[in-house]
Amino acid sequence: MDAPPLQIRMGQSIVEKDGRTFNFSVFARIFDIGVISLCFIYERPEYDFALLEETALLFAEQEGLSDLFLSHLNALADMLKPHSRGFALSPDFFEDYTIYMMDWMDGSIDPIPLLAVEKRDCPPHMKEEIFKDS
C-alpha cells in the first residue's frame, strides 16, 4: 500500500436516533489493494467529553448506522461499476471500527467506556495495562 487511497466525498447524511439529529460527513476511501473504507464523520466544535461518551454509547457497535452504510455502499458501487470490469461488492464481508479524536486529554477523562463500549468500573491496574504503551 504505497499509494495513498483515492478519497471520494459523498456528502452529508442525517441520522435520527433517540430524538436527536446527527449530521455525518461521509467519505469513501479506495485503497490500491481493493479495500473500500466508508467513513462517517461526526464532529462537534465544543469540547465536551460527556457528550462524546454519550454519543459513542448511543452508536455502540455502529447500532443505527446500518441503513446509512448500505445506502452509501450501494451509491459507491453504482459509481464504480462502469469503471471496473467484474466489479462486485459483498455487503456481508466487512469490518467495522470507530475512531475517536480529541484535541486534549486530562485526568478527568476516563476513556474506558469508549474502549469497552459500555460504562463499567475498571480497576487501576487494568487501566495501567491498557495504556502502558500509549
Q: Does 68 or 60 have the greater pLDDT score?
A: 68
Lowest mean pLDDT, pick from 10-14, 23-27, 76-80, 120-124: 120-124
| Percent of the chain's residues with pLDDT above 70 | 90
State residue 8's pLDDT score. 94
In a domain, 83, yes or no: yes
State residue 54's pLDDT score. 82
In a domain, 48, yes or no: yes
In a domain, 99, yes or no: yes
In a domain, 111, yes or no: no
In a domain, 13, yes or no: yes
- The predicted model gives 37-61 an average pLDDT of 81
In a domain, 79, yes or no: yes
State residue 9's pLDDT score. 95
In a domain, 86, yes or no: yes
| Percent of the chain's residues with pLDDT above 90 | 17
- Pair 39, 62: CB distance under 8 Å: no
Domain with 54 in it: 6-106
Domain count, the chain: 1
